[in-house]
Amino acid sequence: MLNKRILQSLKSYIKAGELPLMLGLLPYFLDKEKVSMELFRSRLGYSLYKKIKKRYVKKDVKDYTQKVKCTLKNPIWFMWLQGIDSAPVLVQKNYSYLKKNFGEQLIEINSENLSKYIDLPDFILNKKQENKITNTHFSDLVRIQLLATYGGTWIDSTVLVEKNYFRELPDIVIPRTLKPGNDGNIIPISSWFLKFPANNPLIVRTRNLLFNYWEKNNRLIDYFLLHYYMIIASKELDDYIEDLPPIDNSLPHYLMLEMRKRPLDVDEIKNKMKYSGLIKLTNKTITTYENDNYSRLISILETWG
């Protein structure tokens, strides 16, 4: 049984003209081994990236810079469109932890106050209203405009960050897969935790490419479109990302993956939380163990930090 995200990816690849390649790679798709599916997706992703790169690299596009609407110092952006009171318990506990440790730096973004900070183009708002832009991708558009305009740190709602670790971070952060793990990986970066100063050239170029795409198109060509454009912008800027301080994007997933495998007691969870100052979690559980493990984790967050 294929999950919804895989089905959406397959449809996107077909609409992007990748059906002939998909048929050629069919044996990998049909193989039950997980590595075969990864090879299938990786090869299709690389083909799609080459198409996007050929079309957009060095392309002159409109500048979508907006005026600063308020004065903020080192903001920490945290978004739940329906409002934090409507968020899952994990998200609420994470928000409370950040609020306790960072106070007014933490800014909740929701559908009611978004316009207080940024003005998204009408074509984006209209396509969001028409469901041509999903909530997930809308968050990409919001984060890139917030960071381009104000700078600061974007934290996905299911990302935990240890307070002392956060305070020692460099001025620019993009979690990424480091060598040799990133060899052959066309998207070695993650966007669930980003830290940039305002008007950073990588973020501004990525924002302009992403907004230009939605001004011209009515559907998302790939789930990782933001990441493709960040890689393209980085290459235009002499491999900008390669010169940034190394922040690993693999270890933050360790606790989430362990909680899928077996029941963990409170002490085990606490010990595994020490492995990384960044911890990437999820609201979407897929195994029978996860709900109980997440309940224990949430109890830990009551007194964490």
Convert the pLDDT of each residue in 239-275 to its tens digit: 999 999 989 999 999 999 999 999 999 999 999 999 9
**Could you tell me where the DSSP H helices lie in 58-116?**
89-102
Which of these three, 201, 222, 243, is where a domain ends? Answer: 243
Main-chain phi, psi angles of 229, to 5 degrees: -70, -35
The region of weakest confidence among 26-30, 47-51, 82-86, 158-162 is 26-30
The dihedral region occupied by 31, where left means phi > 0, alpha psi between -120 and 50, and beta the remainder, is beta
69 lies in some domain: no
147 lies in some domain: yes
Residues 233 and 89 in one domain: yes
Residues 223 and 269 in one domain: no
68 lies in some domain: no
Residues 140 and 104 in one domain: yes
What's the CA gap between 109 and 88, in Å, rounded?
16
What's the CA gap between 21 and 287, in Å, rounded?
33
Tell me the residue range of the domain where 25 lies.
4-56
Residues 95 and 141 in one domain: yes
Residues 231 and 267 in one domain: no
Could you give the number of structural domains in the chain? 3
Residues 225 and 120 in one domain: yes
The CATH number that applies at residue 193 is 3.90.550.20
CA 117 to each of CA 68, 168, 181, 274: distance values in angstroms, whole numbers, following the listed order: 8, 27, 38, 35
Residues 94 and 229 in one domain: yes
Residues 153 and 297 in one domain: no
Residues 180 and 277 in one domain: no
Residues 198 and 283 in one domain: no
198 lies in some domain: yes
* Average pLDDT over every residue of 118-143: 97
In this model, does residue 30 exceed pLDDT 60? Answer: no
Coil, helix or strand for 216? helix
Contact call for residues 213 and 225 (beta carbons, < 8 A)? yes
pTM of the prediction?
Answer: 0.88
In this model, does residue 136 exceed pLDDT 70? Answer: yes
pLDDT, tens only, 286-305: 888 899 999 999 999 988 87
Task: Give the chain's largest Cα–Cα span.
Answer: 55
Residues 41 and 107 in one domain: no
118 lies in some domain: yes
Residues 180 and 281 in one domain: no
**Average of per-residue pLDDT values in the chain:** 89
63 lies in some domain: no
